[in-house]
Structure 1
């Protein structure tokens, strides 16, 4: 694994940031991607002390921006071995009849279309070399719909189906495809979903120990570090307190 190239989207926080750090610690060369340039600079400065790092700043929901950024990679960075499609979001938690069109579009554009835009740019060289590994970050929401989750759940269900379809289509080329589907992970997820309402976001994680971004990064590493003949197809990972999308044991 040492010296292989990994590209991680959404690397400026949460799961993406933890994954980039872990990859760097394991000796991979890392391409970190995100919209927040200052955070990217800080992470690049940190990781460049232990491995080679390349930074790209783009919005995965903008196809032209994605293509221009990824096509600008120097030749020595183009042969990407591992793609982690981590960038994603949730906006709002309202019943479908009260949902906002802007929230729906943001979730579909980033969670699904953004994943496709990035993957489309990376796949040709993987197919040509007949090697590579794609890791899509899904969610338990893609396997079990929950109240007021509607469009977010739909976008992650699409990721679940798309991952299965990718695995079938890429099978002739020896490309592995993995989905990681977390339950409750304490990151900026709820802060974004609740439009910056820190108090409301904090309550999501009270009364039990949620997963951390590092827990998910460890699961990603487990999948990508498996022997070449082993394909980890799908990992659903919960905190111990969680039994399903809607059942969580909290201290009262």
Structure 2
């Protein structure tokens, strides 16, 4: 039986790599994103395996409409809540409020709205939800207050949702990646490609394909097993010491 995955943020990074991987595995892929041209390119590549939908996660009416797709695309077995945003790494007063609101609406409000809308179908099919959190949910860093806060929400939302879904057969996993080299980092550095390249120089970061492999592994676990949270980093990333301010 052919299964269906809905991937938000399918136009780049983890989402695009996941769309390719699941299509290769024989799944139907519903892919959403804001960039229509990217979606068209992905459809040319994946052909009938992909249903591309131009949707902004901040548009709640459009997000909730994903629960009303026509068969067979409506038979969703796996929701990959991958779409997300981040303000440039800077202090809170220095960051434009509109940019912060965009991040909160995408990472939190849109994710919750879509999950809520699809839960009846996921329960009916004893499906699965994979939510993209981050190591930022667990380890504070300078300039990460809003982004890390939204990812901490995603982690806790995933764990509490597991409680709500006890007995339904629906699996929920919070995936918490460390340093991975994608377009996302360029955004985090304020669009500075050189700064993004320098961040990953000579440290062998994770890739989008690494995460697509992980998502596929999670999807293929026996249905009686649930990975609650999974944190992953490249070998060359670990933790820093505490920051200390010394008074003169």
- State the TM-score, normalizing by the size of structure 1: 0.91
Tell me the secondary structure at the aligned position of residue 168 of structure 1.
Answer: helix
Alignment match of 2:69 (pick from 35, 58, 73):
73
Quick one: distance in 2 between partners of 1:42 and 1:59? 18
User: Which of 101, 113, 119 does residue 115 from structure 2 map onto?
Assistant: 119
Quote how far apart the aligned CAs of 1:202 are.
Answer: 1.8
- After TM superposition, give the deviation of residue 130 of structure 1 in Å: 5.2
Structure 1 residue 67: deviation in Å? Answer: 2.0
How far residue 137 of structure 1 moved from its aligned partner, in angstroms, is 0.7
Q: CA deviation at 1:98?
A: 2.6
User: 3-state DSSP class of the match of 1:33?
Assistant: strand
Aligned mates of 2:164, 2:109 — CA distance in 1 = 18
- Structure 1 residues not aligned, in runs of 5+: 248-252
What does 1:87-236 align with in structure 2 at a 5 Å threshold? Answer: 87-127=83-123, 129=124, 131-236=126-231
In structure 2, list runs of 5 or more residues that go unmatched: 243-248
* CA-CA distance at 1:246 after TM superposition: 7.8
Specify the SS of the correspondent of 2:120: helix
Partners in 1 of 2:63 and 2:104 — Cα distance? 16
Which residue does the alignment assign to 1:38? 37
Moved more, 143-152 or 90-99: 90-99
CA displacement at 1:20 relative to structure 2: 0.7
What's the counterpart of residue 250 of structure 1? none
Shift of 1:97: 3.5
Contact 2:133/2:175 (CA < 8 Å) preserved in 1? yes
Give, in whole Å, the separation in 2 of the partners of 1:152 and 1:98: 14
Contact (CA 8 Å) 1:8, 1:86: kept in 2 or not?
A: yes
What is the distance in 1 between the residues matched to 2:118 and 2:34? 19
SS at match of 2:167: helix
Provide the residue aligned with 1:57 in structure 2. Answer: 54
Retained in 1: the 8 A contact 2:77–2:125?
no
Aligned residues: 242
CA distance in 2, matches of 1:96, 1:43: 36
Q: Decide whether the 8 Å contact of 1:91 with 1:103 is kept in 2.
A: yes
**What is the Cα deviation at residue 245 of structure 1?**
7.1
Q: State the SS of the aligned residue for 1:173.
A: coil
Aligned twin of 1:12: 11
* TM-score (normalised: structure 2): 0.92
What CA distance in whole angstroms lies between the structure 2 residues aligned with 1:227 and 1:214? 22
**SS at 2:185's partner residue?**
helix
| RMSD value, Cα | 1.7
**Within 2, Cα distance between the matches of 1:173 and 1:227?**
15
Structure 1 partner of 2:246:
none
Instruction: Quickly say closer, same or farther: Cα 1:245–1:139, change in 2 above 3 A.
Output: farther
